Structure 1
Amino acid sequence: MNQTETEWTVFVSDDGSTDGTLDILKYYQEKLGRERFVIIDGPGKGFAWNFISLLEKCGDAFDYYAFSDQDDEWMPDKLSRSISVLSGYKHNVPSVYCGRTSLVDENGHHLGESPLFSKPPSFKNALIQSIAGGNTMILNRAGRNIINKTPIDVRIISHDWWIYIVITAIGGNIFYDPKPSINYRQHTNNIVGSNLGWLARFKRISGLMDGHFKMWIDSNIYALNKADVNITPENRFILESFNEARNSNLFKRLYLFRKLGMYRQTLLGTLGLYVAIVLKKL
Structure 2
Amino acid sequence: MPAITRDMSKTVTILMGVLNGARWLHPQLNSIAEQDHEAWVIRFSDDGSTDLSADIIAGFSEKHPDRVHRGTGPKSGFGDNYMQLIRDLPKQAGYTAFADQDDIWIRDKLGRAVAALARSGEKPALYCGRRWLWYPKMDRRIKSPQPSREFGFRNALIENVAAGNTVMLNPAAARLARQAARMITKPVFAHDWWLYQLITGAGGKVVFDHGPPCILYRQHSANAVGAGHGIAVQIRRKTDVLKGNFARRIKQNLAVLDQIKPLLTEESLRDLRRFELARNAALHQRLLLLNVSEVSAYGSK
TM-score by length of 2: 0.84
CA contact (8 A) 1:98 1:138 kept: yes
Distance apart, 1:81 and its partner CA: 0.4
Residue number in structure 1 paired with 2:187: 155
Q: How does 1:204-219 map to 2 (within 5 A)?
A: 204-219=237-252
Distance apart, 1:27 and its partner CA: 0.8
CA contact (8 A) 1:113 1:196 kept: no
CA distance in 1, matches of 2:137, 2:210: 24
Secondary structure of the 2:82 match is helix
Distance apart, 1:104 and its partner CA: 1.1
CA contact (8 A) 2:79 2:191 kept: yes
CA contact (8 A) 2:94 2:174 kept: no
CA contact (8 A) 1:78 1:181 kept: yes
The answer as to 2:47 corresponding to 1:18 is no
Long gaps (5+) in structure 2 = 1-32
Q: Deviations over 1:60-106 (max 9, x none)?
A: 45520110011111111111100111111223x11110121101123
Letter aligned with residue 47 of structure 2 = D
Residue number in structure 1 paired with 2:131: 101
CA distance in 2, matches of 1:84, 1:62: 18
Q: What is the count of residue pairs matched by the alignment?
A: 266
In terms of mean alpha carbon deviation, does 190-199 or 165-174 score higher? Answer: 190-199
The answer as to 2:275 corresponding to 1:242 is yes
The answer as to 2:100 corresponding to 1:69 is yes
Q: Deviations over 1:121-160 (max 9, x none)?
A: 1111100001132111001121112222223421100000
Distance apart, 1:175 and its partner CA: 1.3
Q: 1:108 to 1:39 in 2, by over 3 A?
A: farther
Residue number in structure 1 paired with 2:164: 134
Secondary structure of the 2:252 match is helix
Residue number in structure 1 paired with 2:37: 5
CA distance in 2, matches of 1:90, 1:97: 13
TM-score by length of 1: 0.89
Secondary structure of the 1:205 match is helix
Residue number in structure 1 paired with 2:233: 200
Q: 1:116 to 1:243 in 2, by over 3 A?
A: same
Residue number in structure 1 paired with 2:84: 53
Give the 4+ runs in structure 1 shifted more than 3 A.
Answer: none
Distance apart, 1:9 and its partner CA: 0.7
Q: 1:171 to 1:129 in 2, by over 3 A?
A: same
The percent identity for this pair of structures is: 35
Query: Structure 2 residue aligned with 1:171, among 203, 210, 214?
Result: 203
Task: Please provide the CA RMSD for this pair.
Answer: 1.7
In terms of mean alpha carbon deviation, does 16-25 or 100-109 score higher? Answer: 100-109
Q: 1:17 to 1:137 in 2, by over 3 A?
A: same
